[in-house]
């Protein structure tokens, strides 16, 4: 019944919303695709916020998945203030994503004051082009999110993944709605963290966003090792999102 409903809603899903699912394995990427995801965010070490996946993983997922794949570029876990050596590693990792035929890159950099590092981020955006870039939740550590949104736009990033400065997106729906309005098509503001089929309708109603991101760890214990449950939750999310209009 659920599969049938997902099929019936697919046209609406394509026209109105996009669901990005974060994964760290080939099997999880395939499960997300079967479940109705529209894009994959690929990373390693998801429990630590995600780091750059290996070339082997990027190539393996590219071979098995037809969805667009955005690869995380993050040389280590921890804060988002990078040394010159780490910045150089990020440049090399971007070249690897291109060699492995990724469709986009996910990254974020802050300066010593905890604000968006516009100059360095712009260098990486220029290196990634013509592929699109998502500026990730490093943004949520900034003091003034509205001002920092303007900084992200200055970097040339295509979209912004954000939980509105809170641990999860459902805690900051009003702020996320403001960010979507302020962005006003200059970039895509994409809510993420803690979203699932059970709360997406409220998120859509309060934010007005058209793209959403999820890893689903809030509803699936250890998604990487519970692929059946993971795929089921992706499908439930896709169906619920398709029915939000």
Domain count, the chain: 1
Over residues 232-241, the pLDDT tens digits come to 999 999 999 9
Cα 218–chain centre separation = 16
Q: Match 């003091």 to its residue by tokens.
A: 143
107 three-state secondary structure: strand
Structure token digits, residue 96 = 């690897």
Over residues 113-137, the pLDDT tens digits come to 999 999 999 999 999 999 999 999 9
219 three-state secondary structure: coil
Over residues 193-243, the pLDDT tens digits come to 999 999 999 999 999 999 999 999 999 988 888 999 999 999 999 999 999
Over residues 103-114, the pLDDT tens digits come to 999 999 999 999
CATH number at residue 14: 3.20.20.380
Question: What's the CA gap between 106 and 34, in Å, rounded?
Answer: 23
- List the domain range (segments joined by +) for residue 199: 2-242
Other CB atoms within a 10 A radius of the CB of residue 85 amount to 8
Question: What's the CA gap between 109 and 116, in Å, rounded?
Answer: 6
pLDDT attached to residue 198: 97
Average of per-residue pLDDT across 77-96: 97
The structure's pTM equals: 0.91
């Amino acid at each position: 019944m659920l599969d049938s409903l997902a099929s019936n809603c697919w046209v609406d899903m394509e026209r109105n919303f996009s669901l990005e699912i974060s994964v760290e394995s080939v099997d999880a990427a395939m499960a997300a695709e079967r479940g109705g995801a529209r894009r994959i965010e690929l990373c390693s070490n998801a429990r630590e916020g995600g780091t750059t996946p290996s070339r082997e993983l990027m190539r393996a997922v590219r071979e098995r998945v037809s969805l667009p794949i955005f690869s995380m570029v993050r040389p280590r876990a921890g804060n988002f203030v990078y040394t010159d050596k780490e910045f150089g590693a990020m440049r090399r990792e971007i070249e690897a994503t291109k060699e492995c035929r990724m469709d986009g890159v996910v990254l974020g950099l802050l300066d010593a004051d905890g604000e968006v590092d516009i100059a360095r981020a712009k260098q990486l955006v220029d290196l990634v082009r013509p592929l699109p870039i998502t500026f990730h939740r490093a943004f949520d550590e900034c003091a003034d999110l509205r001002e920092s949104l303007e900084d992200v736009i200055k970097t040339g990033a295509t979209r912004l993944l954000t939980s509105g400065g809170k641990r999860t997106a459902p805690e900051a729906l009003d702020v996320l709605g403001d960010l979507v309005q302020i962005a006003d098509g200059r970039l895509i503001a994409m809510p993420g963290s803690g979203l699932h089929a059970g709360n997406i309708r409220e998120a859509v109603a309060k934010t007005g966003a058209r793209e959403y991101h999820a890893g689903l760890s809030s509803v699936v214990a250890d998604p990487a090792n519970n692929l059946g449950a993971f795929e089921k939750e992706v499908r439930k999310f896709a169906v619920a999102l398709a029915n939000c209009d």
